[in-house]
Structure 1
Amino acid sequence: MNGFLITFYTAQNRSYQGQPIVEWLLAIAKQMDLRGATVINASQGLDHRGQFHSAGFFELADQPVQIQLAVTAEQATKLLNYLSDKHVAVFYVKTPIEFGFIGQAPLDV
């Protein structure tokens, strides 16, 4: 199957409408029935403005985070339009990919 890998880049301390943005994005993915969202915590990173972010020894609030979703073209358009309509500010990368299952697919797919 062809589609896109959408990767959102944010920080652990970011929120949207009072909810951590990571949890909010996962809830939106679930609401839209998007499968396979993965959250990746990083130790350090530079944001789109060149500012340094890191997970400190005692404080994880500024920890860089990625949320990745493998989606169809239709799902990508629907998700990005939804986020645009909500006026949420989050940096993303949309990469063309091929995805699928090797061997027998799970029964619930």
Structure 2
Amino acid sequence: MNGFLVIFFTQQSRRHEGRMLGEWVVDLAKELGLRGATMTTGIEGFGHSGQLHSSHLFELADQPIEIRLALTEDELTRLFQRLDAEDLSLFYIKAPIELGTLGQKASP
């Protein structure tokens, strides 16, 4: 099946509705019934402003965060409509992909 890989980039310090933005996006994906979302943390990175974001031993607030989703076109439309309604500023990458499942049994 054809779809899209969407990757959102943010920092651990960013909040939406009083929660970490990355967690809020993952919970939104679950609420919308999407097939899954994976949030990972980065060690270091910089964005459009050129400001370096990194994790430090005692301070993780500026740590880079990625949220990855493999979506059908319909799922992508529903997610982006909802994010647009929230009036968020959130950088993303969207690329066409082939997605599917191998094997007969789903993993727990």
TM-score interval for Structure 1 and Structure 2 normalised by the shorter chain: over 0.9
Shift, 1:105, TM fit: 4.6
d(CA) in 2 for partners of 1:87, 1:94:
19
d(CA) in 2 for partners of 1:20, 1:57:
19
CA deviation map 1:12-54 (0-9, x unaligned) = 1110121110111011101100122101110000112221100
TM-score after normalising by structure 1: 0.92
Root-mean-square deviation (CA, aligned residues, Å) is 1.5
Unaligned runs of 5+ residues in structure 2 are none
CA deviation map 1:51-89 (0-9, x unaligned) = 110001211110001000101011101111110111011
Q: Percent identity?
A: 44
User: In structure 2, the residue corresponding to 1:69 is in which secondary structure?
Assistant: strand
Aligned residues: 108
Unaligned runs of 5+ residues in structure 1 are none
User: In structure 1, the residue corresponding to 2:30 is in which secondary structure?
Assistant: helix
- What code does the residue aligned with 1:34 have? L
Question: Which runs of structure 1 show a deviation greater than 2 angstroms over 4 or more consecutive aligned residues?
Answer: none
